[in-house]
Amino acid sequence: MLTVYSEDCRLHHGRAELNEGQLVPCFENPSRTDIVLDRLKAVDLGEIVAPRDFGVVPLKRVHDAGFVDFLAECWDLWTAQGRDWDAIPFTFGKRGMRDDRIPKDIDGRIAYYAMDAGTPLTAGTWKAATASANCALTAAEQVAGGLKSAFAACRPPGHHASIDYYGGYCFLNNAAIAAQALRDNGAQRVSLLDVDYHHGNGTQSIFYDRADVQFLSLHADPEVEYPYFLGHADETGSGAGEGFNHNFPLPWGTDWERWSAALEDACRRIQGYRPDVLVVSLGLDTFEQDPISKFTLSSDRYPLVGARLAALKVPTVFVLEGGYAVDDLGVNAVNVLTGFEDA
């Protein structure tokens, strides 16, 4: 399988995130893709290529233009205030407050565009986030061109980033950008399956009123888990998109038996939709040893995930999302990919 990766993805490196009331080292850091790349090379999965640069146009096909421009200039405006540490919001707009005015001050703009305090924006964030999106776009382009599958080794991840907000370690929604590019290049129907432990709120929101991109997400129940405010089973799409959004919220402690039953359910819905192409938001934080998650999948289950997806017999773009048990992330991610290839 072809892998697309850029060393520029390493340029996003937050110092600390707010976790359980304390500033702790960022769970989402460059060692994650380092270990995935090491494992890809160890099993000789296939060629590893650098992305090409698609510019901002495909980013603005799914994101608000002002939001993209904000991400591009945030660091410069932040440091212009004499700061050289990570940019983190300290407030957020809440119910009943104005959302039709974007503050002028940089702290206010960060408050407007951020969804949480766990996603520091750093000197290299814009470069890394655009490199990450370019990895997804390049993988999508290769699959559109006839490859059966490709893997975008993206970081920072993307699925929590929505039309006009960032958070959950995500800035640009790599998978959504890839899905939109596939549509723009001739695919009639795209299925986007999100198997990350956390609900793909950004991806859901981006495609919620559309029938041309089916979204399915298996994740921890938002009653008890981040992102808390989206991901319930009764979110089924709106307008033309009604019936094309499928959430599978699962309880803490979900094991392989329960998780794979939900995967089976999702796969049947994908089959019924008859997509031209499948995009997989590949999070590996369903792993039993993940430090911030509470499912119990073991490493030997991930090849079965890949094999089930291969049985759909649809060209597939894998886009890396979460997974924070770094020592095992390479094995777990690559297990899905080899399971897909060997099926």
Q: Which does 157 bind (CB under 5 to 8 A by kind): Zn ion, ligand OKP, none?
A: ligand OKP
- Both structure tokens of 300: 């030997």
Among 321, 332, 337, 339, binds ligand OKP (CB under 6 A): 321
Among 14, 30, 168, 202, binds ligand OKP (CB under 6 A): 168
- Both structure tokens of 136: 């997804």
Contact region with Zn ion (CB under 5 A), list: 26-34, 41-49, 87-95, 278-286: 278-286
How many other CB atoms sit within 10 Å of the CB of residue 291? 11
Per DSSP, helices labelled H in 95-254 are: 106-113, 125-144, 174-184, 201-207
16 in contact with ligand OKP (CB under 6 A): no
Q: Which of 210, 175, 182 is nearest to 280 (CA)?
A: 175
328 in contact with ligand OKP (CB under 6 A): no
207 in contact with ligand OKP (CB under 6 A): no
Q: Which residue has the tokens 């986007």?
A: 192
Contact region with Zn ion (CB under 5 A), list: 59-67, 186-194, 208-216, 319-327: 319-327
Nearer to Zn ion, 322 or 339 (CB): 322
Among 118, 120, 124, 222, binds ligand OKP (CB under 6 A): 118
Nearer to ligand OKP, 20 or 257 (CB): 20
283 in contact with ligand OKP (CB under 6 A): yes
Q: Which of 219, 310, 220 is nearest to 270 (CA)?
A: 310
202 in contact with Zn ion (CB under 5 A): no
Which residues, including other chains, have CB under 8 Å from residue 2's CB and lie 6 or more apart?
Answer: 46, 47, 48, 49, 139, 142, 147, 149, 150, 151
Report the alpha-carbon distance of residue 157 to residue 155 in Å, rounded: 5
Q: Which does 118 bind (CB under 5 to 8 A by kind): ligand OKP, Zn ion, none?
A: ligand OKP
Return the residues of window 27-66 that contact Zn ion according to CB under 5 A.
none
Q: Which residue has the tokens 């205030």?
A: 81
31 in contact with ligand OKP (CB under 6 A): no
Return the residues of window 132-161 that contact ligand OKP according to CB under 6 A.
157, 160
Q: Which of 84, 67, 74, 177 is nearest to 127 (CA)?
A: 74
The DSSP H or E segment spanning 257 is helix 256-273
120 in contact with ligand OKP (CB under 6 A): no
- Both structure tokens of 201: 């709120």
Q: How far from 315 is each of 102, 159, 217, 276, 303, CA to CA, in Å?
A: 41, 20, 19, 7, 18
Nearer to Zn ion, 159 or 183 (CB): 159
Beta bridge partners of 87: 121
202 in contact with ligand OKP (CB under 6 A): no
Shortest distance in whole angstroms from residue 283 CB to ligand OKP: 5
CA torsion sign for 301, 302, 308, 310 is negative
Shortest distance in whole angstroms from residue 317 CB to ligand OKP: 18
Among 5, 78, 226, 273, binds ligand OKP (CB under 6 A): 226
Of 12, 63, 159, 160, the catalytic one is: 160
Q: Is 160 noted as a catalytic residue in this protein?
A: yes
**Contacts with Zn ion, residue ranges (CB under 5 A):** 196-198, 283, 285, 322
Query: Among all residues, which ones are annotated catalytic?
Result: 160
**Contacts with ligand OKP, residue ranges (CB under 6 A):** 19-20, 118, 157, 160, 168-169, 196, 198, 226, 283, 285, 292, 321-322
